[in-house]
Structure 1
Amino acid sequence: MSLIRLNIKGISYSQTQNGAYALILSEVDGDRKLPIVIGAFEAQSIAIALEKEIMPPRPLTHDLFKNFSDRFQIVVKQVIIHKLVDGVFYSSIICERDDIEEIIDARTSDAIALALRFKAPIFTYKGILESAGIYLKSSQKKESKKGDEAAVLEKLLENEDQESKATDTSDFKKNTLKELYKMLDAAVENEDYERAAKIRDEISKRN
């Protein structure tokens, strides 16, 4: 079966499951997206790996695994999302040490968190993308599918918490840059990385 490479498009809060987040993977050479529901801790870990400016004061679990692997010269070569059963994605981490390759079973969220830290590519099989992939944005040629795709996205993710977004934005707009930097430091110190990422976004808008 042919493998299709995926990139991380973003993470959104999912209202369909309490405390869960939707990780959106994007087809590299196509328009399909693969939404995967993950837990809050894994979402935080992935967000930290994506946000290079946020450095936790202590290593998280995936950072510890990366440090441990580096010490013992274990390299993560790639991650493959190889199975989808009853809405649950199964993944394998392809590792290598001393030219010996090993395949380790892992939760998809953990596998992707590690792939980011090792700068390893993420793949899935064509059949999985065909069965679970959706279009988040419609081009002119796909305009007729726009309504269906929007409905599918709303059902799968329901990630448009507009009231929460408006509150967060208005709160941050009231602060000066100096205050925002202090808030960012405090959020990182308290290990509130979701808030830290939002503050960093507001700072980036002003710079």
Structure 2
Amino acid sequence: MSLVRLNIKGISYSQTQNGAYALILNEVDGDRKLPIVIGAFEAQSIAIALEKEIRPPRPLTHDLFKNFADRFDIVVKQVIIHKLVDGVFYSSLICERDQIEEIIDARTSDAIALALRFQAPIFTYKNILDKAGIYLKVNPKKDEDEDEQDSILVDDLIAEEIEAAAIEKEGYKDKSIEELHSLLEEAVNNEDYEKAAKIRDEISKR
């Protein structure tokens, strides 16, 4: 599978949902965008790394990781967004120490925050970019400026997530306790912690 290099265009925010952000990645040799919904903390960490003039008084978590890696001569060479399952992006850090390469699993938001600090390139596979573009229904209007397009895009992403969560929540009502526990274990194994939290809430209600 061929890799496609991505650049960070910036971070956009939702005009309708407080605390909702999307990281906008651009295809280097193309026009497609890859928007990824991220949390407020990760958005702040990425924004600080993008703005070179901003220096937090104490190291953030990603700065601490970078300092730790520097101390032990570990380098993040590149980040690869390698999988997309049910709207969740999975990423890997390609690291090197003493000319030995290691692959470390990471949340995509954390991987991007670290890529910025290590000045490491970001890649994804072509089939993921194709799939995500269709999945996210990216179709900006020509008469809108880019920032407005990004904000509208974030609103669309959040609306889709809320709708999917509502449908999912309704589906749990018909499940037995045993089925819910099985779904909870499956969600944890798949590292889908948001889904696990919803299932746990349903179990607590019972």
TM-score normalised according to structure 1 size = 0.66
Query: What is the one-letter code of the residue matched to 2:61?
Result: T
> Using a 3 Å threshold, how does the CA distance of structure 1 residues 87 and 64 change in structure 2: closer, same or farther?
same
- Does the C-alpha gap of structure 1 residues 109 and 16 become closer, same or farther in structure 2, counting only changes over 3 Å? farther
Q: Aligned-pair distance for 1:138?
A: 6.5
Offset of 1:15 from its aligned partner?
5.1
Q: Cα distance 1:17–1:107, how it changes in 2: closer, same or farther (>3 A)? A: farther
Asked if 1:156 corresponds to 2:157, the answer is yes
Change (3 A) 1:17 1:96: farther
1:39 & 1:8 partners in 2: Cα distance?
16
Q: CA-to-partner distance for each residue in 1:8-49, whole Å, 9 max, x for gaps?
A: 001011357652210000000000000000000000000000
Which secondary structure state, in structure 2, belongs to the residue aligned with residue 22 of structure 1?
Answer: strand
Structure 1 ranges of 4+ moved more than 3 A: 15-18, 134-139
Taking a change above 3 Å as real, the CA distance of residues 59 and 136 of structure 1, as seen in their structure-2 partners, is farther
1:100 Cα offset (Å): 0.3
Q: Deviations over 1:118-153 (max 9, x none)?
A: 0000000000100113656567xxx9xxxxx99x83
Specify the alignment match of 2:20 in structure 1: 20
Residue in 2 that maps onto 1:108: 108
* Percent pairwise identity: 83
C-alpha distance after superposition, 1:139-194 (max 9, x if no partner): 7xxx9xxxxx99x8352268xxxxxxxxxxxxxxxxxxxxxxxxxxxxxxxxxxxx
Counterpart of 2:47 in 1: which secondary structure? helix
Distance in 2 between the 1:73 and 1:62 partners? 16
Counterparts of 2:57 and 2:11, CA distance in 1 = 23
Please give the secondary structure, in 2, of the residue aligned with 1:130: helix
Whichever residue aligns with residue 23 of structure 2, its letter is: L
2:59 partner amino acid: P
CA contact (8 A) 1:78 1:93 kept: yes
What is the one-letter code of the residue matched to 2:94?
Answer: I
Q: CA RMSD in A?
A: 2.3
Change (3 A) 1:18 1:86: farther
Unaligned runs of 5+ in 2: 144-148, 160-206
Match of 1:61 in 2: 61
Q: Is the 8 A contact 1:31 1:135 kept in 2?
A: no
Partner of 1:169: none
Superposition deviation, residue 76 in structure 1: 0.2
In structure 1, the residue matched to 2:94 is 94
For 1:156, give the aligned amino acid.
L
**Gap runs ≥5 in structure 1:** 144-148, 159-207
> Is the CA contact 1:62–1:114 (under 8 Å) kept in the aligned structure 2?
yes
CA separation in 2, counterparts of 1:17 and 1:94? 34
TM-score, normalised by the number of residues in structure 2: 0.67
CA–CA distance in structure 1, aligned partners of residues 76 and 139 of structure 2:
30
Alignment partner of 1:74 is 2:74: yes
The 2-side partners of 1:57 and 1:83 are apart by: 36
Alpha-carbon distance in 2 for matches of 1:4, 1:17: 31
Give the whole-Å Cα distance in 1 for the aligned partners of 2:50 and 2:109.
14
